[in-house]
Structure 1
Amino acid sequence: MTKRLWAHADEIGFLTLSPTSKSRHYDNWTGDPSVGGVLTRFLDPGQVRLYIKDAVMKRYARARREDPRMALSPLGIPLNFQVLRTYIKPHGLLLADGKVVCWGRANSWKLVLLAVHERAFEGRGAVAYGAVLTQAAGHFSDKEDRAVVEDAATKLGIQQLRWVLT
């Protein structure tokens, strides 16, 4: 069932949906006999929606966001990279060539940019190579809104900043 929900979430672009749209999908899945109906055999009916939201879909979001290909591709880094260190909160990598790359949601841009800077500063020979900001379609779709973020990246010495809509 988890695979089925995750596949459907991929099809609908679940990570980019508004909270209202996500809520509608949780309700649909809860009422679906092949999802909610199965789960009610093991859970109290009132707990099914919460389980789908906080267990199944939270793992989905984490799994999709931690995939380094999502960040490395926009930065032009080949997928045959070697990793020296992996970071979480926000996600990031120290690559064998010394590049530090971090990624996260655009609304967490300060955290992502500072993580690139701090991780490069801590590592010997490391360079603040790239930051990828995802889910940038809303508030950060306008050039003027992105300008402050791009200026901060430049001042922190981050070589590349990329915006990803999804």
Structure 2
Amino acid sequence: MAPRIPDNVRDEIITSLYRQAADIDWHLLSQGDKARWYTTWVDAPEIGGRLKQFLDPAKVRVWIKDVPMKEFARAEEGVGPYARYVTQRFDGAEEIVKRTLGKSWTVVPGTAGIKPQHCLVIDTEAGAEDTTRYMCWGNQKSFSTLVWAALQRAIAMRNKPLTVVVTRDSETVSSVDQLDFEKIGTRCGIEVRYLRREVKEV
């Protein structure tokens, strides 16, 4: 049986992977480019070379892909146990809510979640009026997931749910896609908005 990866080695390798992934804009890479990076990491003495001391060499690529890199996107959101390894992180739910809806809006405590990123929000300046809304966000590739999540909540809530299509770096949502998204939103009774995000150094 192969020896367990020591915690300090595991921490150093994941930190290195996440730093490199941030530098190369991992989220923008094609599947082919990602595959080439997996090969690069497997062959790198400081990553694959160290892992081969504790893992079957044939399993090193699988470990890199299915353990740290599977969690990279969530880690950048500050979510999950791998968040401590990232060198850059997005603003949290509270900042997204305020940038999208305004400073008087806030996250209802205990309602933030993932798959997709979501929360309930409320307008703190609305007095006794019930302004509670469901809000979820993700990139344009996840739009169908956002719509489905919003629809599931819409049937049990009075106020219209909100989906936020987020972009970063050089990403853009074309005018054609925006029109399609808004038509879908109108048909489904869902508000659609857009937000450009930036990662910040941790």
TM-score tier, shorter chain, comes to: 0.7 to 0.9
Aligned-residue RMSD, C-alpha:
3.0
Conserved? CA contact 2:18–2:72, under 8 Å = yes
Conserved? CA contact 2:107–2:119, under 8 Å = no
Q: Is residue 2:130 matched to residue 1:118?
A: no
The structure-2 alpha-carbon separation of the partners of 1:28 and 1:43, relative to structure 1 and needing over 3 Å to count, comes to same
- 1:127 is displaced (CA, Å) by 3.9
Q: How does 1:59-74 map to 2 (within 5 A)?
A: 59-64=71-76, 68-69=92-93, 71-72=96-97
CA distance in 2, matches of 1:164, 1:95: 20
Q: Is residue 2:47 matched to residue 1:35?
A: yes
CA distance in 1, matches of 2:36, 2:197: 22
Of residues 63-72 and 99-108 in structure 1, the stretch that sits farther from structure 2 once superposed is 63-72
| Unaligned 5+ runs, structure 1 | none
The alignment-based identity, stated in percent, is 28
Aligned match of 1:48 in 38, 44, 60? Answer: 60
Aligned match of 1:143 in 157, 175, 181? Answer: 175
Corresponding letter in the other structure for 1:36: G
TM-score scaled by length of structure 2? 0.66
CA distance in 2, matches of 1:165, 1:25: 25
The structure-2 alpha-carbon separation of the partners of 1:135 and 1:52, relative to structure 1 and needing over 3 Å to count, comes to farther
Structure 1 residues 50-105: Cα deviation after superposition (integer angstroms, max 9, x where no partner): 11011110011232355644854652455963434234332211124412111233
Corresponding letter in the other structure for 1:75: T
* Structure having the larger proportion of residues in helix: 1
Question: In the alignment, which residue of structure 1 is the partner of 2:109?
Answer: 83
Give the number of equivalent residue pairs.
163
- 1:10 is displaced (CA, Å) by 1.5
- 1:115 is displaced (CA, Å) by 1.5
Larger Rg: 2
TM-score scaled by length of structure 1? 0.78
